[in-house]
Amino acid sequence: MTIQWFPGHMAKARREVTEKLKLVDIIFELVDARIPISSANPMIDQIIQQKPRIKLLNKADMADKHMTARWIEHFENQNQHVLAIDAQTGAGLDKMIKMAESILKPKFDRMRAKGIKPRAIRAMIVGIPNVGKSTLINRLAKKNIAKTGNTPGVTKAQAWIKVGKVLELLDTPGILWPKFEDEEVGYKLALTGAIKDTILNLQDIAVYGLRFLQSNYPNVLMERYQFETIPEEIVDMFEHIGRLRGCLMAGGEINYDKTAETIIRDIRGQKLGNLTFDIDV
């Protein structure tokens, strides 16, 4: 699903997240480990304010491990709580729950001291489309035998998913918009599959991808497409890859659109291995 964001949708999304914030103790902010900056909502700090937050670099299984380690260090240096996870297999989720418990311990200790009955930690997941919010919710629900019940909320009843004894998760995530102002962000979102349809021109996305690989991952580019040396000119790269992969038109000319599609599919499908596209740590 790709959402076309308009000012009205953004205002509504923000309102919904702001309402639900009141119901939870902590936010799980999901981003894509391959683009931890480009996949973040540009207003996330203003929206969630002082609410405790754990930044989850999801799809860590697809990201460049070395870069993920650098990003984690970067966010930790900013005093952010951060973890790399893989919502699909569940890797990192035990750590996530432990981290939430540890962050909220002072709050829960205070509650206990006031004689308030202990309860589970309440959390919600937020993030832009396609970062893995539903996958994470399903994973947590499955792992811990989902039991949804209705607890009256501030405005309307919310369904919670019980995750073991310690955590209750809102069953619907907060969906926020991505950054639009930066063209490069658009290409990175497209290359990681966050924007699936043809909002951007296919050839432009593939050109961006090839240039990025040429500068940052030349060896994987050479290996995947059997280059002896990587051509300087993008058009020569297209020629070579198009011919290699049989993306040809009737007369034997290169079909550039088909070549672009092939390149994008290869990148999204991890055919060039684990890549990280946000590299300015």
Name every residue whose Cβ is closer than 8 Å to that of residue 113 and which is 6 or more positions away in sequence: none
Q: Which is nearer to ligand GDP, 81 or 139 (CB)?
A: 139
Select the residue whose beta carbon is closest to ligand GDP and give its number.
Answer: 132
Residue 264 contacts ligand GDP per CB under 6 A = no
209 is in an annotated binding site: no
Measured from the CB atom, is 171 or 257 closer to ligand GDP?
171
- Stretch 103-162 residues interacting with ligand GDP (CB under 6 A): 127, 129-135
> And the tokens for 135?
């996958």
- Measured between alpha carbons, how far apart are the two ends of the chain, in Å? 30
Q: Please say which residue, 123 or 247, places its beta carbon nearer to ligand GDP.
A: 123
Which residue, 110 or 180, has its beta carbon nearer to ligand GDP?
180
Consult the annotation and say whether 198 binds a ligand. no
Select 58 or 259, whichever has its Cβ closest to ligand GDP: 58
Distance CA(26)–CA(54), nearest Å, equals 8
Q: Give long-range contacts, CB 8 A cutoff, 24+ apart: 137-145.
A: 137/161, 137/169, 137/171, 137/173, 139/87, 139/88, 139/90, 139/93, 140/93, 140/167, 140/169, 141/169, 143/90, 143/93
133 is in an annotated binding site: yes
- For the chain, the helix, strand and coil percentages under 3-state DSSP, each to the nearest 5: 45, 15, 40
CB 134 to ligand GDP: min, Å: 3
- Whichever of 161 and 241 has its CB closer to ligand GDP, that residue is 161
Q: State which of residues 58, 158, 192, 274 lies at the interface with ligand GDP (CB under 6 A).
A: 58
127 is in an annotated binding site: no
Give the range of 44-52, 85-93, 195-203, 247-255 binding ligand GDP by CB under 6 A: 85-93
Q: Tell whether residue 132 is among the known ligand binding residues.
A: yes
Rounded Cα distance between 140 and 171, Å, is 10
The least distance separating ligand GDP from the CB of residue 217, rounded to whole angstroms, comes to 18
Please, are residues 27 and 123 in contact by the beta-carbon 8 Å criterion?
yes
> Smallest distance, Å, CB 131 to ligand GDP?
5
User: How near is the Cβ of 32 to ligand GDP at its closest, in Å?
Assistant: 9
Q: List, in sequence order, every beta strand (DSSP E) within the chain.
A: 26-32, 53-58, 81-84, 121-127, 148-151, 158-163, 167-170, 174-175
Footprint on residues 157-186 left by ligand GDP (CB under 6 A): none
32 contributes a contact to ligand GDP by CB under 6 A: no
Residue 174, annotated ligand binder?
yes
> Least distance in Å: CB of 88 to ligand GDP?
4
88, 172, 214, 255: residue in contact with ligand GDP (rule CB under 6 A): 88
Q: 36: Cβ–Cβ under 8 A, 6 or more apart, which residues? A: 55, 57, 71, 75, 278
Please name which of 110, 116, 132, 141 lies closest in space to residue 57, comparing C-alpha atoms.
Answer: 132
Residues that bind ligand GDP (CB under 6 A): 58-59, 61-62, 86-88, 127, 129-135
Binding site for GTP: residue ranges? 58-61, 130-135, 174
